[in-house]
């Protein structure tokens, strides 16, 4: 009798809570082993690991890993730590993002550099690390995958959150560069949600109203985004492109960011 297939392993950055947590849970339920990355939310990460374990396949390993992705040395050491724990890694979902408000008036070198380190440089470093790992594996690794979480804002721009927008625009451009440079061992796919979860900047009433502002009458849910990520991970013919999961919000014109609309 042949051995059962090895379970695939995915690192999901920023997955202790919010959207990253929903992605981690969906992948665990779909048969993936999940490495839950967090920066400062250790207790939330522990809870997410436990819930992934509950939803996952029998014998699946789930674990958490702390790292500040704005620190280059910590970003570079993250994937090797995950490999040491799981033995092999097949995919990375770059979900962790810095999202701090600025505009043309308040823009600074420091703000842009901070956003670029976490939102652009870390995903590139992790993609390169996964590629190196795949090339070093002795068994047939197949094709690895990187999924980068982007934002419908890139296709429907407004003047708010300038440094964040620039960092995500750079990451969207990196999708193409990395997909070319790291093929055939690695696919690279973007997923761009619309307004998905509320925040301290929006009341529940505001969120519900803004969530309906799209051609389809609704934007993305966390489950919609997680489903798109899983699809991108598992469809072997997609690379160098982005899936917009936003109910069509990118087709509409918004003069301000959702969090700052009246």
Of 26, 31, 145, which Cα lies nearest the Cα of 92? Answer: 145
Of 154, 142, 136, 262, which Cα lies nearest the Cα of 209? Answer: 262
The β-bridge relationship of strands 241-245 and 186-193 is parallel
Does position 155 have pLDDT exceeding 80, yes or no?
yes
Does position 102 have pLDDT exceeding 70, yes or no?
yes
Sheet of 144-149, strand order = 63-66, 33-38, 9-12, 91-94, 144-149, 186-193, 241-245
Answer positive or negative: Cα dihedral of 117, 118, 120, 124: positive
**What confidence tier does 122 reach under pLDDT thresholds 50, 70, 90?**
very high
pLDDT recorded at residue 1: 42
Comparison of pLDDT for 125 and 138, the residue scoring more: 125
**What confidence tier does 260 reach under pLDDT thresholds 50, 70, 90?**
confident
pLDDT recorded at residue 138: 76
pLDDT recorded at residue 140: 61
CB 153 within 8 A of CB 193: no
Range from 58-72, 189-203, 241-255 carrying the lowest mean pLDDT: 189-203
- Taking the C-alpha atoms of residue 71 and residue 31, their distance in angstroms, rounded to an integer, is 31
**pTM of the complete model:** 0.95
Mean pLDDT of 13-41: 98
Does position 2 have pLDDT exceeding 50, yes or no?
no
Torsion, CA 169, CA 233, CA 28, CA 224, rounded to 10: 60
Structurally, at CATH architecture level, domain 9-260 sits in: 3-Layer(aba) Sandwich (3.40)
């Amino acid at each position: 009798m042949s051995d059962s297939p090895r379970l695939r392993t995915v690192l999901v950055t920023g997955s202790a809570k919010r959207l990253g947590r929903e992605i981690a849970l969906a992948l665990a339920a779909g048969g993936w082993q999940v490495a839950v990355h967090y920066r400062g939310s250790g207790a939330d990460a522990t809870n997410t690991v436990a819930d992934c374990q509950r939803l996952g396949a029998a014998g699946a390993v789930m674990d958490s890993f702390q790292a500040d992705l704005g620190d280059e040395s910590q970003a570079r050491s993250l994937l090797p730590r995950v490999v040491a724990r799981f033995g092999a890694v097949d995919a990375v979902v770059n979900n962790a993002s810095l999202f701090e408000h600025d505009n043309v008036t308040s823009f600074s070198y420091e703000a842009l550099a901070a956003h670029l380190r976490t939102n652009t440089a870390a995903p590139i470093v992790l993609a390169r690390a996964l590629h190196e790992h795949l090339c070093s594996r002795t068994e047939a690794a197949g094709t690895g995958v990187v999924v980068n979480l982007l934002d419908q804002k890139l296709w429907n721009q407004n003047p708010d959150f300038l440094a964040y927008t620039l960092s995500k625009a750079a990451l969207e451009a990196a999708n193409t560069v990395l997909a070319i440079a790291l093929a055939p061992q690695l696919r690279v796919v973007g997923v761009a949600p619309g307004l998905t979860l509320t925040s301290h900047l929006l009341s529940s009433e505001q969120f519900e109203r803004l969530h309906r502002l799209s051609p389809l009458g609704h934007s993305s849910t966390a489950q919609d985004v997680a489903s798109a990520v899983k699809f991108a991970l598992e469809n072997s013919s997609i690379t160098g492109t982005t899936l917009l999961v936003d109910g069509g919000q990118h087709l509409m014109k918004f003069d301000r960011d959702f969090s700052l609309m009246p």
